Amino acid sequence: MAGVRKVLIANRGEIAVRILRACRELGIGAVVAYSEADRDSLAVRLADEAVCIGPAQSARSYTNIPALMSAALVTGCDALHPGYGFLAENAYLAEICQQLGITFVGPPPDVIAKMGDKAVARQIMKQSGVPTVPGSEGVVRDLASAKEAIRRIGYPALIKAVAGGGGRGMRVVTSEGELTRLFSIAQQEAETNFGSGDVYIERYVDKPRHVEVQILADRHGHIYAIGERDCSLQRRHQKLVEEAPAPNLNKKVRDNLLRAAIKGAKAVGYQNAGTLEFLVDASGNFYFMEMNTRIQVEHPVTERVYGLDLVAWQLQIAAGAELKLDNKDLVPHGHSIEVRITAEDPAADFQPGAGTVDTVVLPGGPGIRVDTHLYPGYRVPPDYDSLLAKIISWGETRDQAVNRMDRALAETFISGIPNTTSFLRLLVTDGGFRRGDVHTGYVAEFMHRNAAIISRLGDGLPASAGWNP
């Protein structure tokens, strides 16, 4: 056994607190690495030990590998947990950890590198029989090759920039005429925006759902799919709401999806916690998109319906423990929903805000969990992502989970900085969401339908009926 006795938490915000809690659950020591901007953070205040790794700018602190490694070595850590974001999917960090004898809490460096290259990941999945979106074999260089590729896959098709990502650099074409007009424009746009004019082509999946499968794999060959999450409610590729299990997913489709995910994870020699993302169309066809080699923001909904502590398992797996689960452990119990409260102003096109938190009233009661780094008087630095709190509800049924989320959001009150609490309450009480009628275009449609209400959120108008300040 590698053994893990003291972990460097190479992250900030709510996930640093989450990792710290997992360390405490396991009786492992923890050191919080923090930037100058995070000196007064909750993670630092709760930590046994904390070490400053540099200035606010993340390039000089949270993504500075020498600074992190020095922090780990001087504090005597034997493991490093990267959380999500920052260097969580950086193969070099995993590699350097290995060389310094520090256990990286994640998969081996070569697995991170392979899954980090989207073309390589897709190729490996395709070869091992995991469905991928039908498309061109690699880069399409000219119009003639584009026409040829689309002859096989049909219209509508999607031109994607190789160097794009996060939904940027995609162009739908619905006919050969449109392709002829747009192909060279798409190449030029790719060159201008991403520094490479390389594009490829895929069949366009209309109104897909984003469904992802949670993988947990130990270092002894045990590998499990811990169910799926639906993360279709996104705004500009930022997730707003996630849930487990995915609503209205045909049982056969679900079984095949989980089987495919296990097959893919086995094919890459996966270890630790990871996620395979799929697009699922209205007919139940699913296609591998990418694999995330980290713990994800939305992991709590899986924890809630499977009764597992995924972060604690990440640490135990890294320490060499065996993970043995029965079929009965792999049956979800009830339904769980997460919303992400961010420091953005929904009435001002979600403009991010920073500042000092005044009042924080967090929800509780049956079926509610809150993961947050907020406390009254906390100053939200402008330097990092805007996540403030995750509220996770649970119910025996999806309806109960939605009702409890509605109640929880009504109880929630955060003042001093803009936040999305009332917007999220409006969203989760919307009719389509209530029916589980979700897809990746849902939020855009919802915003359109509710533009008048959303533009006045924050004026204390609707959706804040619970807490009277």
Q: By the criterion CB under 6 A, which residues form the site for ligand MV4?
A: 133, 158, 167, 202-205, 208, 210, 234, 237, 279, 289, 440
CB nearer ligand MV4, residue 135 or residue 395: 135
* Min separation Cβ 165 and ligand MV4, Å: 7
CB nearer ligand MV4, residue 136 or residue 314: 136
CB nearer ligand MV4, residue 54 or residue 208: 208
* Min separation Cβ 286 and ligand MV4, Å: 12
* Min separation Cβ 269 and ligand MV4, Å: 23
Question: What's the CA gap between 430 and 443, in Å, rounded?
Answer: 10
* Min separation Cβ 205 and ligand MV4, Å: 4
* Min separation Cβ 237 and ligand MV4, Å: 6
CB nearer ligand MV4, residue 51 or residue 231: 231
* Min separation Cβ 147 and ligand MV4, Å: 18
CB nearer ligand MV4, residue 115 or residue 289: 289
Q: Which residues are catalytic?
A: 294
CB nearer ligand MV4, residue 187 or residue 234: 234
- The Cα-based distances of 101 to 52, 108, 373, 414 in angstroms read 22, 13, 31, 43
CB nearer ligand MV4, residue 167 or residue 366: 167
Place of tokens 């995915």: 246
Nearest in space to 79 (alpha carbons), one of 87, 90, 89, 68: 68
* Min separation Cβ 65 and ligand MV4, Å: 26
* Min separation Cβ 441 and ligand MV4, Å: 7
Question: What's the CA gap between 10 and 273, in Å, rounded?
Answer: 17
CB nearer ligand MV4, residue 134 or residue 269: 134
The residue count for the chain: 469
Q: What is the 3-state secondary structure (H, E, C) of the chain?
A: CCCCCEEEECCCHHHHHHHHHHHHHHCCEEEEEEEHHHCCCHHHHHCCEEEEEECCCHHHCCCCHHHHHHHHHHCCCCEEECCCCCCCCCHHHHHHHHHCCCEECCCCHHHHHHHHCHHHHHHHHHHCCCCECCECCCCECCHHHHHHHHHHHCCCEEEEEEEEECCEEEEEECCHHHHHHHHHHHHHHHHHHHCCCCEEEEECCCCCEEEEEEEEECCCCCEEEEEEEEEEEEECCEEEEEEECCCCCCHHHHHHHHHHHHHHHHHCCCCEEEEEEEEECCCCCEEEEEEECCCCCCHHHHHHHHCCCHHHHHHHHHCCCCCCCCHHHHCCCCEEEEEEEECEEHHHCCEECCEECCCEECCCCCCEEEEECCCCCCEECCCCCCEEEEEEEEECCHHHHHHHHHHHHHHCEECCCCCCHHHHHHHHCCHHHHCCCCCCCHHHHHHHHCHHHHCCCCCCCCCCCCCCC
